Amino acid sequence: MSSTSKYKRILLKLSGEALMGDGQYGIDQDTVSRIAGEIATAHAAGVEICVVVGGGNIFRGLSGAAQGMERATADYMGMLATVMNALSLQNALETHDIDTRVLSAIPMDSVSEPYIRRRAIRHIERRRVVIFAAGTGNPFFTTDTAAALRAAEMNCNALLKATQVDGVYNADPKTDPDAVRYDHLSYMDVLRQDLKVMDAAAISLARENNIPIIVFSIHGDNQLRQVLNGQSVCTIVGGDNE
C-alpha cells in the first residue's frame, strides 16, 4: 500500500456478521485473520486506525427484546458479545505484529482497558490499533451510534463502514436486480429517504462533526486499501459532498 491514503486517522466500523464468514453464527477465524491483515496493511502505510465492532454474530439486543427479554438487559448482553469479537480481532492483529488495545465502555479489567478518551487518543498517537468494545456502554444505543461517537471523540477524518454490499442502494441489491447504487449522498439525503446506512443518531453525530461516512464491502481482497486510496467502489455520505 502506498502512502497516498486520503485519511490520516480513521474509524472502521465492523458488524458482528462480518466476522462470521460463510457461517450462520459465531466467529470464523479465517475471516477475522483476513480482516486483520487488511488493517495491518493500512496501519503499515501510516494510517492511524481505531475500530468499533458489533456483536450481532453472537447476540443482538433488539432480537432478544423482540423475543420478550427486557430491552436494557438484552442490550447489555449484546455489548458483552462485542467484547468477545474485539478480543478475537485483537488476537488476530497481534499475530500480524500490530500493537493493539481493547477499550471497553463496560469495565472488564481482566480482559480489557476501560474506555478513557485521553488514554485512547494516546494509544492511537503511539501507533496502536484501538478496538472499542461494548458500544457506548448504555442500552438503547446501537454500535453504529457508538462508531460515530468514537469517531468524533478521536478526531477521525472518516468513518468507514464495512458491510455486506459495496455501498448504499435505493433498494436491497440482494433481492432487487434493478437496485441502483449511490456514489455520493448528503447526510440529509440519508435521513430524508430513511436509507439504511446507519441509524439516525449516528448520521446526526457524523453530520454535526462533518465526518464523512464511507460505506464499502468487506468481501474480497484489499478492500480497505482501495477505500483509503480512493479507488474503491463505495458510497460516500457527507464530507465534501454535503
CA-based nearest residue to 111, from 137, 136, 85, 75: 85
CA distance 136 to 78: 12
Long-range Cβ contact pairs of 164-172 (< 8 A, separation 24 or more) = 164/17, 164/18, 164/217, 164/218, 164/219, 165/217, 166/216, 166/217, 166/232, 166/233, 166/234, 167/215, 167/216, 167/217, 167/233, 167/234, 167/235, 168/195, 168/196, 168/197, 168/215, 168/235, 168/237, 170/195
Burial 24-45 (b: 16+ CB within 10 A, else e): eeebbeebbbbbbbbbbbbbee
Answer whether 163's CB lies under 8 Å from 198's CB: no
What is the pLDDT at residue 2? 44
Domains of the chain: 9-241 (3.40.1160.10)
Note the pLDDT tens digit of each residue in 189-233. 999 999 988 999 999 999 999 999 999 998 878 889 999 988 888
187 φ/ψ angles, rounded to the nearest 5 degrees: -60, -40
Alpha helices in the chain (DSSP H): 29-44, 61-66, 71-95, 117-125, 143-153, 187-193, 200-208, 223-228
* Mean pLDDT within 154-176: 92
**Cα 158 to chain centroid, rounded:** 11
Under the banding of pLDDT at 50, 70 and 90, the label for residue 240 is low
Lowest mean pLDDT among 33-47, 83-97, 164-178: 164-178
What is the pLDDT at residue 1? 41
Please list the residues that pair with 113 across neighbouring strands.
103
Answer whether 158's CB lies under 8 Å from 214's CB: yes
What is the pLDDT at residue 73? 93
Note the pLDDT tens digit of each residue in 110-147. 999 999 999 999 999 999 999 999 999 999 999 999 99
> Which H, E and C letters describe 45-111, residue by residue?
CCCEEEEEECCCCCCCHHHHHHCCCCHHHHHHHHHHHHHHHHHHHHHHHHHCCCCEEEEECCCCCCC
What is the pLDDT at residue 77? 93
Q: What is the DSSP letter of 22?
A: T
CA distance 189 to 78: 30
